[in-house]
Amino acid sequence: MDKLVIEGGVPLSGEIAVSGSKNAALPALAACLLTAEPVTLHRIPQVRDIRTMLDLIGHVGAEVRVEGGRVMICAGHIESPEAPYELVKTMRASSLVLGPLVGRCGRARVSLPGGCAIGARPINLHVAGLEQLGAEVRQEHGYIQAEAPNGLQGANVQFDRITVTGTEDLLMAAVLARGETVIENAAREPEVADLAVLLISMGARIEGAGTSTIRVQGVTKLRGAEHTIIPDRIEAGTFLIAGALTRGDLTVRGCVPEHLRALIAKLQQAGVEVTEPAPDTLRVRVPGRLKNVDITTEEHPGFATDLQAQFMALMTQAAGISFVTETIFENRFMHAQELARMGANIRLEGRQAIVAGPTPLSGAQVIASDLRASASLVVAALAAHGETVIDRVYHIDRGYEKIESKLAGVGARIRRIQ
């Protein structure tokens, strides 16, 4: 199993580039199943979750061609609208094919995802939404079996709670449903809006994506299209935090500052100087001491849960007590214990982590438990004295493209060992 070895203590400096968004690319790839014509997607990050989704799309019978960050998909004929357990168990976002497959084929069989390190993460809201569009859904043998032999029928769907992939799944089902669908309490994440841009270029009629009410007028058929995925705001945020934590001077290029407003505000409160030298560029420096700041994770445009672990690592170096409250997932503090092994002073109380800083960080052997927890260990290791060895880096490979070479390019001493 691969490990990352990081010799910390080097301030990151220079320019680092952001890849395409994993969480926007996943639904975009699933959307390709909605048309028999070819779709070309640009800026697809080469990470493990994307390879899993490409395997899944190939499994249902689509042709897939990958040329670097460009992916061409042609789902001329869907042989088996089925997502098997072997693929779904490695990536929960596989459930994103449920909506498009029912919309296009009138039936789908998708394995239920199992447990997850960060919380239970059921897909009941995806299923309830599809039922409201007229699908008959049964659960048997660990699979969701959805059928709509006469096609889906538009409806008003109000989500009980905000769900990102649930909104995306239902949006993809609704574009080929008869009549109007209104999705209320929809997720407002930029990844949902990006999916809508792709679907609209395929001929879908959608209004309001990126707000909490999305209106869809169903069409009978979608066509091929070409689309460029938005930059990864979580990768960009991880780099900004790494720059601040190592007290470097780091320029993050190719991002959308608008997608990072909540993080930027918190960084500034913590005493980090954040500037926008160009419309797609952010630069961080730390002129004085880092100050303690409280964060509470929320749906977009609030503070992203996917940046909570990395921000907690930053707060270990801030003077005073910081409260980190996680409201999206019930078990997303696995990094706290590993950070404590590196010298952090963190107490967990239910959904709250209380971080007392600053305490010096020292390199240690640590274990990555999920994607963003691994990212927090990487940023902490970059700032720690001595060597950190991070085990189970396959978690980080799920979502960060070329992490070692990107960080090495701005001065990090980082290498991968087997």
Per-residue contact flags (x/-) with ligand EPU for residues 63 to 102, judged by CB under 6 A: -----------------------------xx---------
Tracing tokens 């085990």 back to the chain, one arrives at 391
> Which residues in 187-215 are b (16+ Cβ under 10 Å) and which e?
bbbbbbbbbbbbbbebbbebebbbeeebb
Query: With binding defined as CB under 6 A, does residue 21 bind ligand EPU?
Result: no
Query: With binding defined as CB under 6 A, does residue 26 bind ligand EPU?
Result: yes
When binding is defined by CB under 6 A, the residue of 31, 60, 125, 282 that contacts ligand EPU is 125
Length of the chain: 418
Question: What is the enclosing helix (H) or strand (E) of 40?
Answer: strand 38-42
How many residues form the binding site for ligand EPU (CB under 6 A)?
Answer: 25
**In the bound complex, what is the minimum distance in angstroms from residue 14's beta carbon to ligand EPU?**
26
Q: Which CB, 56 or 290, lies closer to ligand EPU?
A: 56
Question: Closest by alpha carbon to 406, among 288, 251, 246, 265?
Answer: 251
Query: With binding defined as CB under 6 A, does residue 283 bind ligand EPU?
Result: no
* Catalytic-residue membership of 105: no
Burial class from Cβ neighbours inside 10 Å (0-12, 13-18, 19+) for residue 418 reads exposed
Query: With binding defined as CB under 6 A, does residue 132 bind ligand EPU?
Result: no
**In the bound complex, what is the minimum distance in angstroms from residue 26's beta carbon to ligand EPU?**
5
* 188 touches 168 (CB < 8 A): no
When binding is defined by CB under 6 A, the residue of 4, 12, 18, 23 that contacts ligand EPU is 23
Subset of residues 288 to 327 that bind ligand EPU, contact rule: CB under 6 A? 305-306
Subset of residues 1 to 20 that bind ligand EPU, contact rule: CB under 6 A? none
Query: What gap in Å lies between CA 128 and CA 135, rounded to an integer?
Result: 9
When binding is defined by CB under 6 A, the residue of 32, 34, 148, 164 that contacts ligand EPU is 164
Query: What gap in Å lies between CA 36 and CA 223, rounded to an integer?
Result: 7
Query: With binding defined as CB under 6 A, does residue 395 bind ligand EPU?
Result: no
When binding is defined by CB under 6 A, the residue of 76, 122, 277, 360 that contacts ligand EPU is 122
Question: Closest by alpha carbon to 224, among 343, 104, 330, 74?
Answer: 74
**In the bound complex, what is the minimum distance in angstroms from residue 189's beta carbon to ligand EPU?**
6
Query: What gap in Å lies between CA 342 and CA 357, rounded to an integer?
Result: 13
When binding is defined by CB under 6 A, the residue of 104, 266, 372, 406 that contacts ligand EPU is 372
Candidates 32, 74, 105, 116; catalytic one: 116
**In the bound complex, what is the minimum distance in angstroms from residue 286's beta carbon to ligand EPU?**
26
DSSP single-letter state for residue 405: H
Query: With binding defined as CB under 6 A, does residue 156 bind ligand EPU?
Result: no
Instruction: For residue 17, give every residue at least 6 positions away whose Cβ sits within 8 Å of its Cβ, in sequence order, or none.
Output: 253, 254, 406
Beta-carbon count within 10 A of 43 CB: 21
When binding is defined by CB under 6 A, the residue of 19, 35, 52, 165 that contacts ligand EPU is 165
Cis peptide before 113 (omega within 30 of 0): no
Per-residue contact flags (x/-) with ligand EPU for residues 183 to 202, judged by CB under 6 A: --------x-----------
Beta strands in 101-212 (DSSP E): 107-111, 136-140, 143-147, 156-158, 180-184, 205-207
Q: Which CB, 317 or 370, lies closer to ligand EPU?
A: 370
Residues facing 74 on adjacent strands: 38, 63
Q: Which CB, 353 or 361, lies closer to ligand EPU?
A: 353
Q: Which residues are catalytic?
A: 116
* Residues within the interface to ligand EPU (CB under 6 A): 23, 26, 92-93, 119-126, 161, 163-166, 191, 305-306, 328-329, 371-372, 399
